[in-house]
Structure 1
Amino acid sequence: MSYRLPPLNALKAFEAAARLGSFSRAADELCVTQGAISRHIKILEESLETKLFRRVHRQVHLTEEGLAYSRSVREAFAIIETETANLNPHYADRIIRIKALPTFAMRWLIPRLSDFTRQYPEYEVSIQTSHKFADFEYDDLDGSIEFGTGNWKDVASDLLFPTMLTPVCSPRLADGAGPPQSLEQLPRYVLLHSKQRPDLWNQWLTSVGATNVPTKDVARLEDSGLVYQAAIDGLGLAIAEFGYVKEDIRLGRLVKPFDYILVGNQGYYFVCLPRKLRLKKVAAFRKWIMSRAEETRSLASETSVAIVEGA
């Protein structure tokens, strides 16, 4: 049994217009006129006998049927693209597009990326950073690094390593003081906070039963990357992800004044659309990052504090 499919050019025009939310932007992407996009959409709507867009004050909005159809069309094009790339390497896109959390990218991923390049010289990794969860529906991404519990809908997620929190500081702070020798000495020190994760000190202090420890001062910085740099420069004590600072500790740029490492029930995950795993480049990157994360993940065995909800 055969079925009459809509014209391919009309489907391409519809997919672009639906994804971009604009006929003019779709025209720019496909290098045609806006009028051509409108004609293709009209042909498609007549072929399907269904309205796909509502036109309101020179703007277009997907109808309920158009929204559902756009998802199916986008998935179909993605499957064709994936299987074509796997079948013929000449069609394969060699760039792996990854979205990562800014501090994860700076302190964990980029320092290890040359190892991926050595193992897979045929691929190039492009990294963009954002605190927002990846929008795989509209962003041109092959995967992302996200923080959470891993319970996200419609995506595949693999735990890289759990959150592991511990105080760190410079071997000699800016005021000439050395690292604290006990929890009772903490009130003498400046505690560095990230505005992105302002509750880390409270979580760690609570886990070691030091809820009533007063603090001398608090310095609030925009993100964790600035917090780590401030700690290296001797401005105070930071609560750090142990996996991010292990190398700094090894090289003597930072010290860990307390043995306690708080392991949380959240962590860092490699996330992608399930269909993307069929792409050889994504499968290669996933295999590599999971392998490199194993070393960091094993650090959780060094903990002396139980897993804490929400950390």
Structure 2
Amino acid sequence: MNSEEILANKNEFINRYQLSKLHTFESAARHLSFALAAEELCISPSAVSHQINKLEEELNFKLFERFHRRITLTHDGKNLFTVVKKSLNILNQEILDIKNKDVAGGLTIYSCPSFIQEFLIPKLSQFTDYYPYITLNIISGNKAINFSQYPIDLAIYYDSLHYDELACEHLISETILPVCTPSYAHQYNLYNNPENLKNCVLLHHNHNKLLDFGFDEWQSWANHFSLSIDFNKIQNMLFDRSDHSVTAAINNAGIAIGRKQIIAKYLDSGQLVAPFADLEAPCTQRYYICKSLEKYNPKADIFIQWLKSYV
């Protein structure tokens, strides 16, 4: 078919086009596998192959090169895949925009800095993709905040308490364990030798107690495993933010108590290690999310459901 014939038949071709075949093609092209496309679409591989064959007949050009155990896109197939993928993305975004057009405006969230930095921020782009009309205003702090005095819609706390005047939902349970860099662990021969902590600098989160040199998390961890540690005879360094104590550990300043949910990425990357891997203590504290009992905010409920899908 020459270009004049294509133009002459353009409207007829578009009208009789079957979107289901394009959907099947997009899946097969993305996976480069009829079997994987069939699994995703909940149809048989032969049905995928049949739809692709029919689509190639209608288009009058090949989309795939077939080999014994694999398929590849032809040049024309690559071009069509680019257009179809872009079109589906536009369609999906338009559907989201229509569904979410009545859910718009600001949403103010208050939480501790470490949760915002390590858990929340890496996921926010996904929230804005789904809810582009909700403007997030994120505020950090370590103290409980009064909803009646501040324009806060949601608060995410790390605590062992509930607040009677708020509606609170459990979000994440937490465990704690000592963490440091691999070089620090080797330097002080820490692997499976907790008694060598006496030679280290212990890094503490001091819960914003400016004059109270308490050793809350380290003490809780030691008590759980019946370890006798005299913190007053060990070199200590205290921070009012838990993420600062972890950052200090990453920079070889000492060994910190890490909250497993928050520091998981540093353990996975190898920046930090847990020299006493079997000594992971549960916490009485956990992360929970709170909202006002006095006013209904659909944006707050949307954010809570979105956040809970990641935990």
Q: What's the counterpart of residue 207 of structure 1?
A: 224
Q: Letter of the 1:121 partner, please give it.
A: P
| Residue 175 (structure 2) aligns with | 164
Match of 1:260 in 2: 279
Q: TM-score normalized by structure 1? A: 0.60
Following superposition of structure 1 onto structure 2, how do residues 161-310 of structure 1 map, counting pairs within 5 Å? 161-173=172-184, 176-177=187-188, 179-196=190-207, 198-212=215-229, 216-258=234-276, 259-276=278-295, 278-292=296-310, 294=311
Q: Name the SS for the 1:225 alignment partner.
A: helix
CA change 1:285–1:154 in 2 (3 A) is same
Largest Rg, 1 or 2 = 2
Moved more, 212-221 or 106-115: 212-221
Determine the structure 2 residue equivalent to 1:142: 153
Cα distance in 2 for partners of 1:186, 1:270 equals: 35
Structure 2 unaligned blocks of 5 or more: 1-99, 208-213
Amino acid at match of 1:287: Q
Superposition pairs of residues 20-35 of structure 1, within 5 angstroms: none
Contact 2:185 2:191 in 1 (8 A): no
User: Contact conserved, 1:174 with 1:234, CA < 8 A, in 2?
Assistant: no
Q: Residue 150 of structure 1 contacts residue 269 of structure 1 at CA under 8 Å; is this kept in 2?
A: no
1:265–1:156 Cα change, 3 Å: same
Distance in 1 between residues matched to 2:245 and 2:253, nearest whole Å: 9
CA offset at residue 273 of structure 1?
Answer: 0.9
Residue identity (%) = 27
2:111 is the counterpart of 1:111: no
Residue 64 of structure 1: aligned partner:
none
Q: Contact 1:172–1:179 (CA<8 Å) still a contact in 2?
A: no
Q: For 1:217-257, what per-residue CA distance to the aligned partner results, in whole angstroms no more than 9, with x for missing partners?
A: 11122321210100111111101111110011001111111
Per the alignment, residue 66 of structure 2 pairs with: none
**Cα offsets for 1:97-140 (capped at 9, x unmatched):** 10111222122211222222223223221100112212111211
Q: Secondary structure at the match of 1:191?
A: strand
Q: 1:130 to 1:105 in 2, by over 3 A?
A: same
Name the residue aligned to 2:24. Answer: none
Contact 2:185 2:275 survives alignment (8 Å): no
The equivalent of 1:155 in structure 2 is: 166
Give a deviation string over 1:43-91, Cα, whole Å, max 9, x none: xxxxxxxxxxxxxxxxxxxxxxxxxxxxxxxxxxxxxxxxxxxxx967x
Q: Which runs of 5+ in 1 are unaligned?
A: 1-87, 295-311
Alignment check: 8 A CA contact 1:194 1:222 kept: yes
Q: Which consecutive aligned stretches of 4+ in structure 1 deviate over 6 angstroms post-superposition?
A: none
Q: Which amino acid aligns with 2:194?
A: L
